[in-house]
Amino acid sequence: MVTCCQCEGIERQFGRKTAEKELRQFRHHGPIATTRALIDALRAQGIDGASVLDIGGGIGAVHHVLLDAGASRAVHVDVSPDYLELSRDESIRLRHDDRVDFVRGDFVCLAPTTSPADVVTLDRVICCYPDMEQLVSASAGKARRLYGAVYPREAWWVRAALSLANAFMRLRRTAFRVFLHPPAAIDGVLRRSGLEPRTIQRKFFWEIAVYARPGA
């Protein structure tokens, strides 16, 4: 699970100013490129009538778009109270408020009481979590049909960039850190959870993956 220091670091790193900036960008330009790629890959697999569990959903870009595209309901789980508040406001603006539940906390701790969903998403979330296997296993177990995630590629330039980012955060004396979990290790956890890869897209920095539960 996320340590108290990491939770405090997440709240500081993803505070109100950052959330407001991301929400303005979403309203003016839609989801960023990697988020759009994840959404498009999920839609290609079919999401009509699907329930969505959006873990670390930020300002809610993934579930906002999926609800507009035919998904039925969503649960948004996040550690940051500022992101949850602004996502809730956006849900009201988009008239999704009667179809989204907001839950604050560490998903690994919340998993035992969280209901499964047809679609589970983690958009740039795995890299914020120190124990990849615990998070991916807990979240994969909630996916009835599809599992979509965006996480850093394993490449030297990615590793260098994340090392620099962590050095900068140490200078700022924030407890938040980013992690480069090997995609092969993520794949192994998902396969052991009964999921199979459907699409894998590799961008310069990020990998966008969609897995499916066979026969679902």
pLDDT averaged over consecutive 10-residue blocks of the chain (216 residues)? 49 72 94 97 97 96 97 96 94 94 95 97 96 97 98 95 91 88 98 98 96 90
Please tell me the predicted confidence (pLDDT) of residue 37.
98
State residue 5's pLDDT score.
Answer: 39
Q: Looking at residue 18, what is its pLDDT?
A: 87
- At 6 the pLDDT is 46
Q: Whole-angstrom Cα distance, residue 182 to residue 209?
A: 13
pLDDT of residue 216: 73
For the 4-212 domain, the top CATH level (class) is alpha beta
**What order do you get walking across the sheet with 196-202 strand by strand?**
100-104, 73-78, 51-55, 117-123, 143-152, 206-212, 196-202
Q: What is the DSSP letter of 133?
A: H
Residue type, 166: N
Boundaries of every domain in the chain:
4-212
Residue 89: what pLDDT? 94
